[in-house]
Amino acid sequence: MKSNIINLAKENHIDEIRFIDAENLTEDHIGDLQKFQGRQPLDIMPDAKTVIVFSTYIGRFVTDTSHQYGRTSRLVLSGYYANIVKPLKPIKEYLESLDHKAMIIDGESDDASIPLKGTAVKAGLGWIGKNSLLINDKYGSFQALGAILTDADISETYPIMKNKCGECFKCSDACPSNAIRTPHILDRPNCLSNFLEDDNPETDISDGVDLNGYFFECDICQNVCPWNQQHIKCPLDTPYGRLFDSNKLDPVMELDHLRDMDEDDYEREIAPLMIGYKLPYKTFKRNIEILLRGE
Ligand code: B12
């Protein structure tokens, strides 16, 4: 069964796959357990035996970063922003065909889903960086994560990776809205990614802040991470990344073009990038205005 699952994962462009037991994640995996009440694998599927953990490299998903272009994150451009369901579906269907339960966990429902970064830590796929993201030597933090909870008993154990951030504080120093004051803990209301998708933020954290061109989501804390530099200079050539052609998207991202977009243009050219969640047009317009304010 396992080798069939691994083959299906490969066919669907997944780069790493691990099988961990469905027992509770501990402080070593997720830090403060209190914050994850009701989100442990067994809270979600009480008879689960295994969590299958998936990671896909998204380092190639970038558009032109020069000044006259707007930017969005690698996660959005990869199509996995709130939805890594598509490549996992054949695996879910395979498990179900063998009369097993299988539930896909993606990023769509924050509160109902297991914490994917901690799950990946337990699977030996990386460590939690100071920017609160999963990092490893091979992919840096440019990985989208997903999981399948199942009652099939196919788990293994993996050594947990040592944290290799050391004394580096580049992510917290670079965050223009000061969202990483405590290492490993993201101050969500102060994170630009959070702000740029919030239709009705309590405070406008963008005042006087350089968005580095980002109009939806933000990769600033990742762009400065030493573990990502090799991927920024020369992204890995992976099957999924190969499907992305930035040349097609670059003209759409020109700031002049973004500024002039009406709702129809937006629906046609930008909205399809946002799989699983669509930024309302009026919030997009607000973000572009903020971006141009800083030009
Ligand atoms: C809600 C959410 C957000 C929110 C809040 C983020 C947050 N850090 O909480 C917002 C919208 C801001 C966001 C932004 C982004 N997100 Co997000 N997000 C999620 C989601 C849906 C849930 C995360 C969650 O549970 N947060 C709740 C808080 C309580 O937990 P936490 O951040 O995990 O933090 C805990 C750990 O750091 C731990 N901890 C603290 N100290 C220590 C110490 C040790 C030793 C250990 C082990 C742990 C530990 O305790 C913290 C809680 O206090 C997940 C998908 C999922 N189901 O897991 C994706 C997810 C985490 N996001 C992801 C990504 C890629 C991003 C962005 C990079 C996208 C972008 N470019 O804009 C940014 C990154 C911002 C950042 N620096 O974290 C990826 C992470 C991939 C990776 N390599 O880690 C995920 C897994 C989605 C996916 N399908 O791949 N996200």
**Among candidate residues 96, 100, 105, 87, the one with its CA nearest the CA of residue 39:** 105
pLDDT tens by residue, 22-79: 999 999 999 999 999 999 999 999 999 999 999 999 999 999 999 999 999 999 999 9
Measured in angstroms, how far is the CA atom of residue 64 from the centroid of ligand 1? 26
Residue type, 5: I
Global pTM exceeds 0.85 = yes
Which portions of the chain are predicted below pLDDT 70? 107-112
Residue type, 254: E
Average pLDDT of the chain to the nearest whole number: 95
Runs of H (alpha helix) within 98-167: 116-122
Q: Is 133 in the pocket of ligand 1 (CB under 6 A)?
A: yes
Residue 95 near residue 107 (C-beta atoms within 8 A): no
CA dihedral 170, 145, 83, 70 (to 10 degrees): 20
Q: Is 58 in the pocket of ligand 1 (CB under 6 A)?
A: no
Measured in angstroms, how far is the CA atom of residue 159 from the centroid of ligand 1? 22
